[in-house]
Amino acid sequence: MLDLSGRVALVTGGTRGIGAAIAGRLAEEGAHVVVCGRTEPASHPFEFVPCDVRDPEQVDSLVSVTVERHGRLDVLVNNAGGSPEVPAASASPGFNRAIIELNLLAPLLVATAANAVMQRQHDGGVVVNIASVSGLRPSPGTAAYGAAKAGLINLTQSLAVEWAPKVRVNAVSAGLVATEDSLEHYGGEDGLARVAATVPLGRFGEPADVANAVAFLASPLASYVSGANLVLHGGGEWPAFLRAAHGDGTATEPRA
């Protein structure tokens, strides 16, 4: 039912982490997968096209090369993004501009180029934007990133209206996901365990969880899903006021 045989998928930032998991999952369902990044890694299993997704000329070349080689483009996954942690009061204007450009303007740029191809195809295409729960709640330490992801969610809804009926546009807002950088970011195994305990499902998400959601949205099973934001956060977070009210920590435990 998730069959993507004969489809061509492009995954930005698809050589590592969540992007690589998405690329692998789409390939499992039969899609021919093209990935892009600024630098090609030494080893990866997918067709690679170098591209800085913030550069309009490089983006046009990326989409043109993909179509020239494979004749079509059916699925675009805007995965490239991210931000280091910098307090808003310390972040320079240039830093903020770069974060917003990467996480909001670049997805719009790539999606627009892909849409031009998909609109000419009889069966259109699908765009999936990888957003974040940082766009749905406060994002202290990564304020520009959170604002950009909030914009990406809104952009998803707007493009779904503008580009229908040929092109479906959806977003996946990922919560805490265990990647190569998680151990360092959260202070080792003990830190990971403490953070995981704040999630109702009791664990971090895995890159495969995001990849499965993308595969669903790209597939015929989601043929009537457009303008949606699929939130993957394990149930969210226990409200801070409950922790404060139960000072013994019991508010972090599941209740019948």
Walk across the sheet containing 8-12 and list its strands.
Answer: 47-50, 32-37, 8-12, 75-78, 125-132, 167-174, 229-232
CA distance 62 to 83: 24
CA distance 161 to 153: 13
Contact yes or no for 65/114 (Cβ under 8 A): no
Residue 104 burial (CB < 10 Å; 0-12/13-18/19+)?
buried
Catalytic residue IDs = 145
CA distance 143 to 86: 8
Alpha-carbon distances of 195 from 18, 136, 184, 231, rounded to whole Å:
19, 19, 13, 19
The phi, psi pair for 245, rounded to 5°, reads: -70, -30
